[in-house]
Amino acid sequence: MLRLTTESTEDWWEVEGLYDLCFAPGREALSSYRLRDGVPPVPELCLVARDDDNIVGGAIRFWPVRIGAYDALLLGPVAVHPTRQGEGVGGFLIRESLAKAADLGWARVMLVGDEPYYSRFGFARLEGVEMPPPTNPDRVLGQALVTGGWDGVRGKVRSVRDTEGA
């Protein structure tokens, strides 16, 4: 049985180790990491899945971003330990965190990923929303957490660090 907890400072090294294990070296050079650099994640939405032995089975994080005048969440990374893959851990993390984001009043969430996988959670390709290069536009996906959450949202995705005072 897995239980979800909000990621704590004590979890950080284990979660980073999981991300290192699950993703290729150089993951922090991706365009999504440039949006995260120097910006804290949304703490209430950073979740860790642990088993009965308190071993990390998966983790998910969210970051605030801006698109034009609109706030959005950037989902990622989400990772599942290789020994837990195929058990639905990733789906559990995604569904629970999206429900929590909606409860917290967020209107929209986006990610960079494979539409065939993420469409099962309600994500679809975003038109007119531009991630920093070299992101493939076909992989820029979003989901409205409220009716019309993406209506009229267009432009470049920017770090909240770059929009302070704007």
Yes or no: say if 39 and 160 are a contact pair by the CB < 8 Å rule: yes
Task: Work out the angle at residue 37's Cα, subtended by the Cα atoms of residues 156 and 45, and round it to the nearest 5 degrees.
Answer: 85
Yes or no: say if 76 and 135 are a contact pair by the CB < 8 Å rule: no
Structure-token pair, residue 78: 């989400």
Give the number of other Cβ atoms within 10 Å of residue 123's Cβ: 21
- According to the model, what pLDDT value does residue 165 have? 52
Q: What is the 3-state secondary structure (H, E, C) of the chain?
A: CCEEEECCHHHHHHHHHHHHHHCCCCHHHCHHHHHHCCCCCCHHHCEEEECCCCCEEEEEEEEEEEECCEEEEEEEEEEECHHHCCCCHHHHHHHHHHHHHHHCCCCEEEEECCHHHHHHHCCEECCCEECCCCCCHHHEEEEECCCCCCCCCCEEEEEHHHCCCC
Domain ranges of the chain: 3-162
List per-residue pLDDT tens for the chain, 166 residues long.
889 999 999 999 999 999 989 987 666 656 676 788 889 999 999 999 999 999 999 999 999 999 999 999 999 999 999 999 999 999 999 999 999 999 999 999 999 999 999 999 999 999 999 999 889 999 999 999 999 999 999 999 999 987 665 4
- According to the model, what pLDDT value does residue 1 have? 80
Distance, CA of 122 to CA of 98 (rounded, Å): 10
- Which among 29, 28, 38 has a CA at the least distance from the CA of 160? 38
CATH number of 3-162: 3.40.630.30
pLDDT tens per residue, range 13-27: 999 999 989 987 666
